Amino acid sequence: MALPNFSSSSDSTPREFSRLIGLKGWSYEKAREMKVIIVGCGGLGNPIARLITRLGIGNLVLIDNDIVEIENLNRDGFEVCDIGKNKAEILKRKLEKIFENHSVRIEAIPKNVLEIDLQEIVEEANLVVTATDNTSSRIYVNDICVETNTTMIDTGFTTDGLRGHVRLIIPGKTACLRCSYFELPVLDKTNLSDKVDLSMKTGYAVSPAPTLSFLASLAAMIAFNVLFEISKPPNYISVNLAEMKFSTANLKRNPRCEICSALDES
Ligand SMILES: [Zn+2]
């Protein structure tokens, strides 16, 4: 199939991004230089990656060692033909089809985030997004983002599939994950299971696509606000989609936090 006409619609913005011209703070030149890492390419990470790609972000790193199973098909982004394939690798292929790989460089890492040298990758990134239900992974990413002074967005949803949150972590400015979750376990890199330890009777997190896509949109919009310095969004947003309640807060840093308390407020 012939490519559509990608000739420039302005001095330097390809035509496929022309409808973003005029959006406050955005420019193609800025977007194409940015690098975003997404940890977890499932029902949350998949729509987050697709939304971020459509903002013109030029560099993406997708990390997930999981494979698509038939139980994942209710989530946005998965199809029957994806079953048995690695989530990061198939997401990379799907993203490259959006613009025929015209404007985005994507690296898929089909490994558990705990098994890779994440710090080396994060040091080059503008933003890291966690879209995984694995607590150890989220702590690991949190600690590396604090250490490297890298902005992080954490997403998650409750096991009933009706409530969720998005957190913005700017090291030295906002609370990190360890500031407010004292019950977080000590990082255990010997436990590399991606399966969340659920106490629910069902043994799995109920995951309706509308809930996950809603949270993904919220995370992508916060990413946009932060990357392009549009605004200073609250660092904690929670949603209750059963009652259609939406609340925000600015979580305070914990001066006794073992990870981020040594950082000066900058
Ligand atoms: Zn902290």
Q: How far is the CA of 251 from the centre of ligand 1 (A)?
A: 10
Domain extents in the chain? 15-249
Give the chain's mean pLDDT. 88
The tens digit of pLDDT for each residue in 141-188 reads: 999 999 999 999 999 999 899 999 999 999 999 999 999 765 554 555
Mean pLDDT in residue range 118-132: 96
The CATH code that applies to domain 15-249 is: 3.40.50.720
Amino acid at 84: G
pLDDT band at 196 (very low <50, low <70, confident <90, very high): very low
Q: How far is the CA of 138 from the centre of ligand 1 (A)?
A: 13
Q: How far is the CA of 236 from the centre of ligand 1 (A)?
A: 14
The tens digit of pLDDT for each residue in 202-244 reads: 567 888 999 999 999 999 999 999 999 999 999 999 999 999 9
Q: How far is the CA of 263 from the centre of ligand 1 (A)?
A: 9
Is residue 45 a contact partner of residue 39, using CB atoms and an 8 Å limit?
yes
Q: How far is the CA of 232 from the centre of ligand 1 (A)?
A: 19
pLDDT of 194 > 50? The answer is: no
Q: How far is the CA of 28 from the centre of ligand 1 (A)?
A: 34
Mean pLDDT in residue range 25-43: 96
Q: How far is the CA of 152 from the centre of ligand 1 (A)?
A: 12
Per-residue confidence (pLDDT) for residue 100, from 0 to 100: 78
Q: How far is the CA of 233 from the centre of ligand 1 (A)?
A: 18
The tens digit of pLDDT for each residue in 70-106 reads: 999 988 889 999 999 999 999 999 999 998 766 789 9
Q: How far is the CA of 139 from the centre of ligand 1 (A)?
A: 11
Which of 208, 206, 207, 212 has the alpha carbon at shortest distance from 166? 212
Q: How far is the CA of 223 from the centre of ligand 1 (A)?
A: 20
Q: How far is the CA of 261 from the centre of ligand 1 (A)?
A: 6
pLDDT of 137 > 70? The answer is: yes
Q: Which residue has the higher pLDDT, 4 or 234?
A: 234
Per-residue confidence (pLDDT) for residue 2, from 0 to 100: 43
Per-residue confidence (pLDDT) for residue 3, from 0 to 100: 43
Q: How far is the CA of 254 from the centre of ligand 1 (A)?
A: 6
Q: How far is the CA of 154 from the centre of ligand 1 (A)?
A: 14
Which of 105, 50, 94 has the alpha carbon at shortest distance from 68? 94
Q: How far is the CA of 213 from the centre of ligand 1 (A)?
A: 28
The strands making up 236-240's β-sheet, listed across from edge to edge, are 105-109, 59-63, 35-39, 127-130, 151-157, 163-169, 236-240, 245-249
Q: Which residue has the higher pLDDT, 1 or 19?
A: 19
- 3-state SS, residue 170: coil
Alpha carbon separation from 33 to 36, 103, 165 (Å, rounded): 10, 10, 28
Per-residue confidence (pLDDT) for residue 198, from 0 to 100: 41
Contacts of 203 (CB under 8 A, 6+ apart): none
- Answer yes or no: pTM beyond 0.75: yes
pLDDT of 195 > 50? The answer is: no
Q: How far is the CA of 257 from the centre of ligand 1 (A)?
A: 5
pLDDT of 31 > 70? The answer is: yes
Is residue 189 a contact partner of residue 178, using CB atoms and an 8 Å limit?
no
Per-residue confidence (pLDDT) for residue 101, from 0 to 100: 60
Give me 109's structure tokens: 């890492």
